[in-house]
Amino acid sequence: MDTFTLAAVLLFFTVGASAQVLEPLNETVLQNTDARFNCSVKTPGWTAMSWTVNGRLALIISELTGPLGTNASYSATNYSTVGEYKWEFVMKAVTAASAGSVGCQVQNNLLVSATLNVQQNGTVAITGSNRTATEGDQVTFLCITRSWLPEPQISWAVNGTKVDNGLYTVISEANGTLMNSNSNFTITAKANVSVDCLASISTLPSPAISTVFLTVQKAVPRPARDQTVLIAITVAFSLAALLALLIILIVFCCKRRRKKRTRYQDEVRARSLSHRQQATYARRGRVRENFGYIEDTPSVDNRDGVYTISGFRQDNYNNNMQLPEVNLSRYADDRSYDGYSFDGLQKHRHLTIV
């Protein structure tokens, strides 16, 4: 150490001895709790001690009268002893906004600064609610933490006993200045247990905790369960098949009965229709004949006692319509057909229109 360095150290020490002492120089507190700093001066005769937070004046303390000002967020406590003036600066219920630098200046001395860190406890939650599982099942729990500063320490406990940190995974990511994390923990269901997810940061008195309960049901022997399932499926299928068969049978029967009925109805309709048609044709025949619609000279054939009148326009009725009971005596009365006589027509009533 050369003379110059020694001189510099001595000079610094001399200046420092006359200046104020601030402690601690690095403080970390949890949000909503108080932050405290001590500033002390050995030499008397100072008149004012001023405190700043991030460069802004927060509180002034008078050597004679104590704290000046009325900002409720800040206060001071006198710890002075003989030969040392010492005041404690208290910041009440700090928020993240207060984090930064805290300075103490006595009279015209250099400002001395300390660092204030504010931690934030966020939320912790195991997703889903209480679980039930069958003995031997693998059950996975997901624990989600949100809005912590800094990143919390995640741990898991089963029935209150912490599990080895090799048994779970943690993935963290920042959201702005805050930290989020997800943690998976898988256990094999054996006994009814409580499962805790714990999140902790250094300033939190006790970890934040989320608890769910795992209820384990005794495993039913597998073959028995398989058989039950098989039986259930077989029974279900048999019932379904039986039902289908029944439905088909019912439908078939109904159809047959309806067909029978419709066939009968058709017959009845056909019969009544033919009667009506015949009557109509008979009437028409007469009408036409009466109104002289017969354009061609009808020829009446009398072979085998069947008279056939040809030359009628057929319109839209069927061939060979038989017109029973046509009173052909009128022909005889009203007209004479090319000298044919209509003797014996009363005996033969069948008339065929071609």
Q: Which stretches of the chain bind ligand NAG, using CB under 6 A?
A: 23, 26, 28, 36-38, 53, 56, 58, 65-66, 71-73, 78-80, 88, 115, 117, 121-123, 129-130, 140, 142, 146, 159, 169, 171, 175-176, 180, 182, 184, 191-193, 204-205, 208, 213, 215-216, 218
CA distance 233 to 230: 5
Which residue intervals of the chain are DSSP H helices?
A: 3-18, 222-291, 329-334
Q: In the complex with ligand NAG, which residue's Cβ is closer, 118 or 216?
A: 216
Q: Which residue has the tokens 């009725």?
A: 317
CA distance 311 to 294: 7
Instruction: Indicate the DSSP class of residue 346.
Output: T
Q: Which residue has the tokens 């004479």?
A: 336
CA distance 193 to 100: 45
Smallest distance from the beta carbon of 6 to ligand NAG, in angstroms?
28
Q: In the complex with ligand NAG, which residue's Cβ is closer, 123 or 262?
A: 123
Smallest distance from the beta carbon of 59 to ligand NAG, in angstroms?
9
Considering only CA atoms, which of 284, 323, 291, 287 is closest in space to residue 307? 323
Q: In the complex with ligand NAG, which residue's Cβ is closer, 186 or 272?
A: 186
Do residues 18 and 12 lie in contact, with contact meaning Cβ atoms separated by under 8 Å?
A: no
Smallest distance from the beta carbon of 248 to ligand NAG, in angstroms?
48
Smallest distance from the beta carbon of 236 to ligand NAG, in angstroms?
30
Torsions phi, psi for 210 (to 5 deg): -130, 130
Q: In the complex with ligand NAG, which residue's Cβ is closer, 169 or 265?
A: 169
Q: In the complex with ligand NAG, which residue's Cβ is closer, 112 or 208?
A: 208
Smallest distance from the beta carbon of 130 to ligand NAG, in angstroms?
4
Smallest distance from the beta carbon of 13 to ligand NAG, in angstroms?
22
CA distance 200 to 181: 12
CA distance 317 to 187: 92
Q: In the complex with ligand NAG, which residue's Cβ is closer, 205 or 292?
A: 205
